Structure 1
């Protein structure tokens, strides 16, 4: 086999891939990355209503035709924006449940403020129930955001009680954000954690 042939890219089955196809794949991947970043920038900067083909195309530096060709619906753009969100920030656990739960809620609050995750939450609430792909991405983001809280509380409660406890703690930050446009202060976060932990303790004593 000649050196020229051995340098030809191949797929997982060893079948040769034409250089033009490799270049095309690279262009598509680059376009997708650029549009994903632009869609997320528009979403967090202006809200889901601003995520339109025309606006995202301008921010990304592509034509509307390119976006419509690859992502024909608005929900496609929103899905890409949400998929571009990386791992959720988490508190460095110290081993004390109260301290760690408070730390997790503070991290969520601060991420909402600095990364404008309130606009991400609004998009997920608006579209997640009706668009399957957005619902899937929403589940991934929520699961990642709640995983430490769920692990800590799961050591003492399970089932419906665990689900209710996680929802109450997350809700102490998310609900005022979505309903009133405000964020809880440290005292409110600490009170939410203390009320929950007292409830778990009382429930345990009853048993």
Structure 2
């Protein structure tokens, strides 16, 4: 890697980390070129050159998350669902994913470019549970089941500022599987 490539990679990492931190600590309104530049230690010109819009800043922050963490499938549907929902809880906790999702939801409602980023992140996050449930449910029920499974983590995180414990996740999976006739 050339020195220029290393500088660009370092700048990208610093800026994306700063955007995620600002989203988590201060919310979307803090994600301005001026504020990100000041906190990350770069010039506004650098940020505008590489990321001309606020949507671009949000996009690199989401892209820097990489693929969402997913649990390894074991073939036991209950255990796999519990593990996957637990992995989502971990992503919320470690990546401040709830704050990122709130910003994406807020801005994605009016800015198409951000809406597309949100759709891609959600699709990646839901992919594994959709696959697990594809064996036992049709698409209509699968949509409801996926929303229920993400909701057991996202709702308390957003509404109450806390994450569900292992017992709540296991019980939610049991309720879901009972409703699907899989318990």
TM-score, with length taken from structure 2? 0.85
Gaps of 5+ in 1: 1-21, 203-207
2:53 to 61, 73, 90: 73
Number of equivalent positions:
181
Which residue of 1 is the match for residue 74 of structure 2?
94
Return the offset for 1:44.
Answer: 3.7
Which residue of 2 is the match for residue 160 of structure 1?
140
Q: Distance in 2 between matches of 1:180 and 1:51?
A: 24
Return the offset for 1:45.
Answer: 4.6
Q: Distance in 2 between matches of 1:110 and 1:30?
A: 26
1:57-91 deviations in Å (ceiling 9; x for gaps): 12332212332344343233222222222111111
Moved more, 134-143 or 166-175: 134-143
Provide the aligned C-alpha RMSD in A: 2.4
Which is bigger in relative contact order (C-alpha 8 A, separation at least 6)?
2
Return the offset for 1:119.
Answer: 1.0
1:195 to 175, 178, 181: 175
Return the offset for 1:105.
Answer: 0.8
Gaps of 5+ in 2: none
Q: Distance in 2 between matches of 1:171 and 1:97?
A: 19
Residues 75/96 of structure 1: CA separation in 2 closer, same or farther (3 Å cut): same
Q: Does 1:149 align with 2:134?
A: no
- Structure number with greater Rg is 1
